[in-house]
Amino acid sequence: MQKIRCSVCSCMYNAPEENLCTLKDIQVSPCPSAKTGTPEDETCCASYKDVNHH
Ligand code: SF4
């Protein structure tokens, strides 16, 4: 089974002590304004929800 490792601790689905996403699947989307080829400019988790969002 696939694991989603993630260290985005401001996301409500993140388990920072395990470096894991707790969702069983996520959507990854391209970043709209990118064209640099640098990973952090091009790819983005679209399943992110702010930990303070209720
Ligand atoms: S939803 Fe995305 S940003 Fe949030 S923990 Fe999972 S992989 Fe990380």
* The pLDDT of residue 54: 62
Q: Give the containing element (helix H, strand E) for 27.
A: none
Domain tally for the chain? 1
Contacts of 8 (CB under 8 A, 6+ apart): 14, 45, 48
User: Which atom of ligand 1 lies nearest, measured to the CA of 11?
Assistant: 4
* The pLDDT of residue 16: 96
Of all protein residues, the one whose alpha carbon is nearest to atom 8 of ligand 1 is 6
Tens-binned pLDDT, residue by residue, of the chain (54 aa): 789 999 999 999 999 999 999 999 999 999 988 789 998 899 999 999 999 976
Residue 28 lies in domain: 1-54
Rounded CA-CA distance 19/6 in Å is 5
Of all protein residues, the one whose alpha carbon is nearest to atom 4 of ligand 1 is 48
pTM: 0.85
**15 close to 35: Cβ distance less than 8 angstroms:** no
